Amino acid sequence: MRRSTPWIFPLIALAVAVAPASAKPRDEAGLDARISADEMVGWMKRLAAEPSHVSSPASRGNAEWVRDQFQSWGWDARIETFQVLYPTPLSVSLERLTPTPFRATLTEAPVPGDGSSSKTKDQLPAYVAFQGDGDVTAPLVYVNFGMPEDYRALERMGVSVKGKIVIARYGVGWRGLKPKLAQDHGAIGCIIYSDPQQDGYGTDDVYPKGGGRPAQSFQRGSVADMPIYPGDPLTPGVGATENAKRLTRETAETVLKIPVLPISYGDARHFLEALEGSVVPAAFVGGLPITYHLGGTDAVKVHLAVKSEWSLKTIYDVVAVLKGSEQPDQWVLRGNHRDGWVFGAADPISGHVSLMAEAKAIGAQARAGQRPKRTLVYLSWDAEEPMLLGSTEWAETHADELKAKAVIYLNSDGNERGQFGAEGSHAFEHYVNQVIADVQDPETGVPVAQRLRASMQVRGAEPGAGERAAAQAKLAADPAHDLPIGALGSGSDYSAFIAHLGIPSINFSFGGEGNSGGVYHSAYDTWEHHLAFDDPGLAYSAALAKVGARLVTRIADADLPVQVYGNLAETVAGYRDEIKKLTASRRDAQQVQSRLLASGAYRLADDPTRPRADPTALSPVPDISFAPLDSAVTHLQKSAAAYDQALAARGPGLSKATRSQLFELQRRLEMTLARDPGLPGRPWYRNMLYAPGRFTGYGAKTLPGIREAIEEERWVDANRYMKLTAQTLEAYASGLDEAVRLIQGA
Amino acid sequence: MRRSTPWIFPLIALAVAVAPASAKPRDEAGLDARISADEMVGWMKRLAAEPSHVSSPASRGNAEWVRDQFQSWGWDARIETFQVLYPTPLSVSLERLTPTPFRATLTEAPVPGDGSSSKTKDQLPAYVAFQGDGDVTAPLVYVNFGMPEDYRALERMGVSVKGKIVIARYGVGWRGLKPKLAQDHGAIGCIIYSDPQQDGYGTDDVYPKGGGRPAQSFQRGSVADMPIYPGDPLTPGVGATENAKRLTRETAETVLKIPVLPISYGDARHFLEALEGSVVPAAFVGGLPITYHLGGTDAVKVHLAVKSEWSLKTIYDVVAVLKGSEQPDQWVLRGNHRDGWVFGAADPISGHVSLMAEAKAIGAQARAGQRPKRTLVYLSWDAEEPMLLGSTEWAETHADELKAKAVIYLNSDGNERGQFGAEGSHAFEHYVNQVIADVQDPETGVPVAQRLRASMQVRGAEPGAGERAAAQAKLAADPAHDLPIGALGSGSDYSAFIAHLGIPSINFSFGGEGNSGGVYHSAYDTWEHHLAFDDPGLAYSAALAKVGARLVTRIADADLPVQVYGNLAETVAGYRDEIKKLTASRRDAQQVQSRLLASGAYRLADDPTRPRADPTALSPVPDISFAPLDSAVTHLQKSAAAYDQALAARGPGLSKATRSQLFELQRRLEMTLARDPGLPGRPWYRNMLYAPGRFTGYGAKTLPGIREAIEEERWVDANRYMKLTAQTLEAYASGLDEAVRLIQGA
């Protein structure tokens, strides 16, 4: 926990408070002993043997096998299906017409020594899901990463993408924003390529010599407009059950209108090196051995054609339940997806085998008499890759029951060697810290938390470390402080739980020392690659299972709420401070810009032979009153401190009935952070604390209603969401006050 | 001038004060009218027609032609020769022996359309001056930029260069530091190559399509140990006249001991792509389409051999004098070098033709009756490239006369399109500002100062602008503030004047919008390249001449000193603040590092499969008293303000005799900043305010005796130079006090 407010109770007392009061504590060493990395390797080879994308034979086959495994471990497991829109590629084609013809290969040839990669039969070709199909011919424009700042730079340079096909490189922002922004700027087609600077030879030896992306490899993915809503484009907000009311593809807001293809840098070079027009600015330079140009002229005309089959497809979630012995109607949810873009060894099987190992170990303990007190629901999601379809449709289908029963959703996804990382609901930050203090890092032998603490400190002490790294290092340097966890944006199956329903969620993984990124969403994400370069022997998948098993069982067995609200209050206060700083710096920037525009300084500063248009004028920042938010944050800080202190002092002495009442009170409290009408223009996103950014995609925006309004100069929204967010936090704080009264009255 | 101290007099009054009191002001429009860009183009084609390095036929031929030109313009011009050590390459060779043989080309083939580049007869091959000759065979190690931080990184990764040959890329630090540091770390040979990321296809289309460096081009240069002393290695501190006492090559501290060659990226690729060993860290990745490795294994063994002829050579300075009409014994010095590494169109002829145009115009005015009041000494230096030989030997030879007569030294060198920039003695900052307010930028038509002011503001307002850019922008936003000029390190002919003798100096140029950098020190630095990509029509060489003519004549004609000391005092106070901040941050860094070392955090933070050694422990920062410096800076600020105010108020009313006395007083005062014993370990550098950094080379270190001592953990030196620097500044301030008394007593 954090200590910067004086009324927060000392950590040691809190640690006592949240320890389960069970008479018979769970044998965690026993859990660890039942987690076998060798067995996980076998499961990985089994699940990553064939391509497992939606509508592939393995999509169903793997679901049935996983269901059977869970059943064999004593779980009540079944398959739940949904009918979702999922476009299957019929034909994809990309040609350079001028200056000379060239046809992109769009295939990933087998790699010597990697048997999996030679199974080319059921592989998807170069393809991204929920692009718009089409057959277009136009000049090509290079738009760097295709992010908003790139379009601003292009606009100043006088380069328009209207009526053109753009080529963007992967990186910086989420994939789906690239064609979306291209479309918004009038482009009629979009190519996304993997530049060697980001994950190819610029980062590592390429596969099979090393883990990096080889010249012929491309990144598949989804380009549905996720920041509007994830899940089946035809059924926003409701489950895609057989008889659900559906939009048409044409009216579904999240399906793009223009054709899009991903390509390799081997292919991309043939398009980029022929471009004419201006030489790019320094920030646009990638790792190909060419001078990058902006293009946009007839020198390079390309023909892009994509045709898909758009019928509904069946997806297969596996839902496995282990009923709680004392509170069967309180559910601890734990999920990882099972579908890959091709074989998916790293993404997602490396995390999925951890979930399986946990389930097997917990199942064995249950059979031996130690059932969890609350019900565990393990979820093997299908169709995460096209846009979180399996989890979103399930959560939407069971929304009412989840609101009534869910305690927490614990998510993992791809995993590899490296440091532990977690993002999620900050009331559970202390809980995560406790868990990782008790699991050993496989390679150093010290607790995972100790390694992470060392790493945060070293990173922050490096010359040139950013402000954020330095701040984290400062926290990490104090052993009495909890290590900070991040905020959840999007990009995996927690989205519907935390962002739509408000169910507190934690996403956790190890990473940063393998190279699964080098084959991300390619046909080379195989067990051969994974065991060679990402996590030999799956030591870190085993460690993930040990973390997962603790996260699941400690809360399932807990007699008292595990939340520590001081961490949440402090984090929210930090977000508020960031937004104040953002507002002040935007105000300054607007004033400076206004002066520079008036004086003609931009034109004088530019090279006269490469004149640029003035930047678009920023809107003057009006007075924005932070008073409601300040007041709510102060309330939250006080209430959180009072609660943490009261629970620490009196929690252990509470009667069983009161404890149970308190647990349920706090369970329900968490969900009040999500409220209607949701965020501006995207009501599906209802959490007032955390959301994926409208223009960052996976990247989180915190206090998003306020922050994005200020970033996007929507001043009316800024004031409106200042009030709405403040109300939400006031209500949450009042909930804590109620809990304090319950504790003290008991 | 700067305004942050309240007692500094308003700018407007100062502007009045420093205006020349002459009855007949010089016709500056007339000067401008006599400066012809067309004529300068002709001179450039003449001077850049043949290679002009030391001992080339054009070295002497160009000197004679320039002398004749000056004479024809009414100047008293002659050639002054020196006998300097200069190694002429006899043979150069670089081969890869393993895994397969490859021999580096080491030549720059002619470029189509560039007639000059086809004159290959007298060109120097791939070569750097004052390397150590040798014939070595060893494994190759890639050391990134070959700077101190690179060696620290290599050491932590367990890679030693002892007994190896290193390959470093150009960039970040000065060329000569690369082999010097390699040698200090035990390497037996050094290769320096031009990575395409720095000046090749990563920056622009390559020559002849654009201005960037083509694959076969390499950068010649000097690798003498300049931070110890520049000039002839055999005659430190004295002129290399015929009978000078000389060191031997072996005892000359600035000649390296290991063989060194520069190569192109076309050649370098064949060496780098075969390297094995660890994949490099991200900061080491260059622009070649390969995965960079550290090497150091027998996988790549190379054979490097360089043999030179080391006899003394004659160099040819042209010294042209226009005697002053009133103060013939006060000299205004103005120089630009004339020698190139090959044709040298940009470096140095683009600046040299400006110097010629000034001299012709001023000469014509003198003939028409407007002689300068003080004597002008125009200097066309030879042998700048090998290590400032022409200027250093001349300044050392005439040291006593210069101390007695020199008012200022005004230097230029290569020039191209772009923004104005100046570095030098800050007492003349206001003077430079006045000059550039009166010269038009050729392409925008606004005053040079106005364009620079706009540019500084825009740069500082860019997202992600550094602290320095932001601070400059803030200054530039206030029109009453002078624009800041930089501090002089080294890299051109001002070195002996400012750093050794203490003669105030200004170096000035236009740049940043041409691409002379793409052919820097190569056989493609031709007039063809220059007129196509660097400065078409030499419009900016003409602008440079207009600036130069004003800088020279305004001070030569001035009745009162032109210095404004408030600028100097404020700048020095800023340097002091930087060093205090540096000291505090080093103290913090040492304490953090000490804690991290003790806890074993570095090992835990690293990838266990790529373990690194702990960083070398920083030395604890002792208490360093800034009191003497603080006291001196306060004195300087007060005295400067008093002087500026006194001169503004009473200067115009002073008698001619007193004005003359004051001018001479201030002239002598400037030189007191240089004092013995000079800087630690390099007594040749005597200026206590400005020096080239021991480990930055060209890059300046200000208050160098103190700053470098703290950076290098020489705590005894830090305290010693705190006192010495403070004494120097106190004496300088006392000189100002004396001037105030003179003004007020008059």
Q: Give the pLDDT confidence of A354-406 residue by residue, as tens digits.
A: 999 999 999 999 999 999 999 999 999 999 999 999 999 999 999 999 999 99
What whole-number percentage of chain A has pLDDT above 70? 97
Upper half-sphere CA count for residue B137 (Cβ side, 13 Å): 7
pLDDT, residue A15, reads 36
Q: How far is B532 from A546, CA to CA, in rounded Å?
A: 66
| CB contact (8 A) between residue B604 and residue A450 | yes
Structure tokens at A141: 């424009």
From the number of C-beta atoms within 10 Å of its C-beta (0-12, 13-18, 19+), residue B479 rates as exposed
> Where along chain B do the CATH 3.40.630.10 domains lie?
22-84+313-425+488-557
Taking a contact as any Cβ pair under 8 Å apart, which residues of chain A between 268 and 307 contact chain B? 279, 282, 285, 287-291
Convert B184-206 to b/e letters by CB count within 10 Å (16 or more is b).
ebebbbbbbbbbbbbbbbbbbbb
Searching chain B, which residue's CA lies closest to the CA of residue A533?
Answer: B609
The answer to whether the bond into B208 is cis (omega within 30° of 0) is yes
pLDDT band at A696, cuts 50/70/90?
A: confident
| CB contact (8 A) between residue A282 and residue B203 | yes
| CB contact (8 A) between residue A287 and residue B289 | yes
Interchain CB contact of B668 with A (< 8 Å): no
Q: Give the pLDDT confidence of B688-745 residue by residue, as tens digits.
A: 999 999 998 889 999 999 999 999 999 999 999 999 999 999 999 999 999 999 999 8
CA distance B278 to chain A (A): 10
Q: How far is A482 from A20, CA to CA, in rounded Å?
A: 19
Q: How far is A512 from B605, CA to CA, in rounded Å?
A: 11
Q: Let me know: does A140 contact A298? Beta carbons within 8 Å.
A: no
Q: How far is A236 from A295, CA to CA, in rounded Å?
A: 39
pLDDT of A24 strictly over 90 = no
> Where along chain B do the CATH 1.20.930.40 domains lie?
566-745
Q: Give the pLDDT confidence of A429-476 residue by residue, as tens digits.
A: 999 999 999 999 999 999 999 999 999 999 999 988 888 899 999 999
Q: Give the pLDDT confidence of A300-350 residue by residue, as tens digits.
A: 999 999 999 999 999 999 999 999 999 999 999 999 999 999 999 999 999
pLDDT band at B464, cuts 50/70/90?
A: confident
> Where along chain A do the CATH 3.40.630.10 domains lie?
25-85+313-443+487-558
pLDDT band at A746, cuts 50/70/90?
A: low
pLDDT of A7 strictly over 50 = no
Nearest to A204 among B212, B279, B443 (CB): B279
> Where along chain A do the CATH 3.50.30.30 domains lie?
90-309
The DSSP 8-state label assigned to residue A257 in this structure reads S
3-class DSSP assignment, residue A745: helix
Structure tokens at B309: 């002829």
Instruction: Give mean pLDDT, residues B120-138.
Output: 96
Q: Which CATH superfamily is domain A25-85+313-443+487-558 in?
A: Zn peptidases (3.40.630.10)
The beta strand positions in B184-281, using DSSP E, are: 189-193, 221-222, 260-263
Q: How far is B64 from B318, CA to CA, in rounded Å?
A: 8
Roughly how many angstroms between the first and final C-alpha of chain B, as a whole number? 26
Q: Let me know: does B148 contact B695? Beta carbons within 8 Å.
A: yes
pLDDT, residue A463, reads 85
* Fold of domain B22-84+313-425+488-557: Aminopeptidase (3.40.630)
Show residues of chain B in contact with A196, CB under 8 Å: 289
Instruction: Give mean pLDDT, residues A715-720.
Output: 97
Show residues of chain B in contact with A593, CB under 8 Å: 461
| CB contact (8 A) between residue A455 and residue B604 | yes
> Where along chain B do the CATH 3.50.30.30 domains lie?
88-309
* Fold of domain A566-745: Transcription Elongation Factor S-II; Chain A (1.20.930)
pLDDT, residue B8, reads 30
Nearest to A443 among B282, B600, B608 (CB): B608
Taking a contact as any Cβ pair under 8 Å apart, which residues of chain A between 527 and 586 contact chain B? none
Q: Within a 10 A sphere around the Cβ of A627, how many other Cβ atoms?
A: 10
What residues have CB less than 8 Å from A29, skipping those under 6 apart?
none
Q: Which residue has the tokens 């390499």?
A: B218
Q: How far is B125 from B93, CA to CA, in rounded Å?
A: 10
Interchain CB contact of B417 with A (< 8 Å): yes
Q: Within a 10 A sphere around the Cβ of A463, how many other Cβ atoms?
A: 6
Q: How far is A137 from A163, CA to CA, in rounded Å?
A: 9
Q: How far is A385 from A402, CA to CA, in rounded Å?
A: 23
Roughly how many angstroms between the first and final C-alpha of chain A, as a whole number? 26
Structure tokens at A426: 């900050």
Annotate B234-256 with DSSP letters as a single string.
T-TTS---TT-----TTT-TTS-
Structure tokens at A297: 């002229």
| CB contact (8 A) between residue A596 and residue B461 | yes
| CB contact (8 A) between residue A457 and residue B601 | yes
Q: Which residue has the tokens 């090393």?
A: A210
Searching chain A, which residue's CA lies closest to the CA of residue B460?
Answer: A592
Taking a contact as any Cβ pair under 8 Å apart, which residues of chain B between 169 and 208 contact chain A? 196, 201-206
Q: How far is B337 from B412, CA to CA, in rounded Å?
A: 8
pLDDT of A175 strictly over 90 = yes
| CB contact (8 A) between residue A454 and residue B418 | no
> How many Cβ contacts (< 8 angstroms) between chains A and B?
123
What residues have CB less than 8 Å from A716, skipping those under 6 apart?
none
Structure tokens at B291: 């995965």
pLDDT, residue A5, reads 31
Q: Which residues on neighbouring strands pair with residue B379, listed in sequence order? A: B319, B335
pLDDT, residue A307, reads 98
CA distance A455 to chain B (A): 4
CATH among 3.20.20.140, 3.50.30.30, 1.10.357.10, 3.60.15.10 for A90-309: 3.50.30.30
Q: Which residues on neighbouring strands pair with residue A132, listed in sequence order? A: none
* Fold of domain B88-309: Glucose Oxidase; domain 1 (3.50.30)
Quick one: how far is CA B414 from the chain centroid? 11
Q: Which residue has the tokens 């509007």?
A: A228
Interchain CB contact of A455 with B (< 8 Å): yes
Q: Which residues on neighbouring strands pair with residue B156, listed in sequence order? A: none
Which residue in B726, B572, B739 sits closest to B639, CA to CA?
B739
| CB contact (8 A) between residue B289 and residue A291 | no
Interchain CB contact of B455 with A (< 8 Å): yes
3-class DSSP assignment, residue B160: coil
Which residue in B339, B439, B402, B353 sits closest to B122, CA to CA?
B339
Interchain CB contact of A102 with B (< 8 Å): no
Upper half-sphere CA count for residue A509 (Cβ side, 13 Å): 25
Query: Average pLDDT of chain B?
Result: 95
3-class DSSP assignment, residue B560: coil
Report the amino acid identity of residue A3. R
pLDDT of A66 strictly over 70 = yes
Searching chain A, which residue's CA lies closest to the CA of residue B601?
Answer: A454
Annotate A377-423 with DSSP letters as a single string.
EEEEES-HHHHSHHHHHHHHHTHHHHHHHEEEEEE-----SEEEEEE
| CB contact (8 A) between residue B288 and residue A289 | yes
Interchain CB contact of B598 with A (< 8 Å): no
pLDDT, residue B746, reads 61
pLDDT of B361 strictly over 50 = yes
Nearest to B446 among A203, A604, A609 (CB): A604
- Report the interhelical angle of B429-436 vs B448-461 (nearest 10°): 110
Interchain CB contact of A616 with B (< 8 Å): no
CA distance B607 to chain A (A): 6
Q: How far is A409 from A454, CA to CA, in rounded Å?
A: 28
Q: Give the pLDDT confidence of B142-151 residue by residue, as tens digits.
A: 999 999 999 9
Structure tokens at B97: 């022996």
Interchain CB contact of A328 with B (< 8 Å): no
Annotate B648-679 with DSSP letters as a single string.
HHHGGGS-HHHHHHHHHHHHHHHGGGB-TT-B
pLDDT of B18 strictly over 60 = no
| CB contact (8 A) between residue B287 and residue A291 | no
